[in-house]
Structure 1
Amino acid sequence: MTATPPLDPADLLGLDDLLGDEDREVRRTVRAWAADRVLPHIAGWYERGELPQVRELARELGALGALGMSLEGYGCAGASAVQYGLACMELEAADSGIRSLVSVQGSLAMYAIHRYGSEEQKQQWLPRMAAGEIIGCFGLTEPDHGSDPAGMRTRAERDGSDWVLTGRKMWITNGSVAGVAVVWARTEEGIRGFVVPTGSPGFSAPEIHHKWSLRASVTSELVMDGVRLPAEAVLPGARGLRGPLSCLTHARYGIVWGAMGAARSCLETAVEYSRTREQFGRPIGGFQLTQAKLADMAVELHKGVLLAHHLGRRMDAGRLRPEQVSFGKLNNVREALEICRTARTVLGANGISLEYPVMRHATNLESVLTYEGTSEMHQLVLGKALTGLEAFR
């Protein structure tokens, strides 16, 4: 008879049993990099509202194989969806801004080129992006069109064999440090994607300041003022909104995992704090109300990780649907934010201090809650799946 293994308080459901040796090695490698290169500095970066040495960090992440991690060929690692998810979880356990850097690079900019680009575009951009030598960004959201990208005003018009691109994009991660932008624009043929070198005349990317969330992340506006592009700049395989929305589905999958990393960091902080913080003559972890909070946080964390694993297995099997990714993002980000808020109450006043990661994670997740599809939009996606009736308008 096999002996029951001892209980690991950090893995109450024994979810490590779902991982193979290669999966664990990916997790260990990314966790070690984040511990060395991010965690000692992140509170200061967040407080100052900066991500210094972002290009150096990108090259290091490229050396780890974390950029375009689940893509095949062109210098990409060709990792499984589960392994990519584990990497996202470890990166966001450090900070959502670091995971956003990787997610936008790999799951949006590189994914768009990999899936919809010409062979020439793939050869030109993907190897250097996979190595972190070039940073990419993804221009879909506009100042007046976030949840409704079909209303975009950015236009691309033909001028001979060239395209001329005019418009603005907003809240673009990596924008001002990117060497290439994938920009979506309205044309006479419908919505098309364009690969835009950011050094093109008429292109600028002013950085957005005064953020109280994702402060250790580069966020910019993209301004295209008559940017002239050759015919081969268009992504030949993408027509209509299906192209950019499929990229967002891939990126949202990473968020399903990443949000659980932020939640895990907050739970671990709360558990450790409860063991050492004394009130009324004993550690607060010995009080029933504190234990109830910790138990509820642990339940939601492990449910969320289990959900992420399930979606990852479906993606690896080619069976993952966009509605299922909406399910994951809606649940996991919402629950991660609640875990962060509850952890803050366990830490009391110390919960708002940058000496602890809790408030930083909570404020970051306020952005994660609404970017790449607000909770309301994902509720409507699931509502349509349940009823067959569209309620977006």
Structure 2
Amino acid sequence: MIQKPYLKAFPDAKGYFGKFGGAFLPPELEEQFKKIEEAYLTIGNSHNFIRELRDIRKHYQGRPTPVYYARRLSEFIGGARIYLKREDLNHTGAHKLNHCMGEALLAKYLGKKKLIAETGAGQHGVALATAAAYFGLECEIHMGEVDIAKEHPNVVRMRVLGAKVVPVTFGAKTLKEAVDSAFVAYLKDPENSIYCIGSVVGPHPFPMMVRDFQSVVGIEAREQFFEMTGNLPDNLVACVGGGSNAMGLFSAFIDDPCEMYGVEPGGKGTKLGEHAASLTYGSEGILHGFNSIMLKNEAGEPAAVHSVASGLDYPSVGPEHAYLNSIARTKVGIANDAETIQAFYDLSHYEGIIPALESAHAVAFAMKLAKEKPYESILVNLSGRGDKDIDFVVANYKPEDYM
């Protein structure tokens, strides 16, 4: 019997990566999600769809994004050679547009009129608002009040692009609650709208769809790195909240002899509510329609979480990350708030690249890993730029303290 390649074998027909994944849906959404799955597997694999998406990638998004050797940062650390996959140079400033354009294109083929989504740091919201403008669709973005205040530049961008930004005022008023709110809005009119999930989370088929749309990152990076060096990278590093940028990078290297590190937000401590490190401290549970590893409180409900990066402020993780970690194909890294802020400034000072706080987690861990592996190469997915974070960082962490 011929064994399928990993990406063809996972997820299975019911959307599972091992025991993780699936689709735990209210009855009124089961038919809609089945239609989305069928459309993705048929329309999404048609030559017309693929040709149109490739044209968008090249002529609108500005792909491929480059791989860049961070020479000065590497010399400063005195360890391994650090390379960056520059997703911050993707149109809208982050990797999120990779799957948003794919989801919106699928929505167009399905005859949908409205895109609905959640956002934490605002990058997914900006990307989806951009896709909606490109295709002439309505757009509604749900965002926690805490994140609206923290990520004001992205809120402005969404509104300028024509999206309706819905403030979420209940619970912790961050990413989890934004997902809850967006699902409720989608339930009101699933026939004319589509919920464009912002990461490799949610009910099947979204973890698979988002991974596949994001795989362009890994496909490009693998070819580019080999062309630059004649080798594959020894180590891959990417931040993980839900984990879309990490799966985008990892997907092309799963069958290669590379170490892969998903970096979780260590926040400000190890107690529940002080971090958002699901794989490190969590246990199996169902949230937002999928089974994965999640942080729980004493009542077994999703726990309060914290991260300096709004886009990582989520109490669970994509089911594929849970699976790959369970079979020891990936390793978990940790970067706390203090390390992340230092990495934010170090990359800015030594390379002239201001990273998103989410991406700065990956840079922070790569800087630690570089000292442990001085003769190896590290490829970091620099998933976004830090324009959205500058006001917050400077107001709370003065630049002169990090020189």
What is the TM-score with the length of structure 1 in the denominator? 0.34
Select the structure of larger CA radius of gyration: 1
What is the TM-score with the length of structure 2 in the denominator? 0.34
- Give the helix-richer structure, 1 or 2: 1
- Higher relative CO (Cα under 8 Å, sequence separation at least 6) belongs to 2
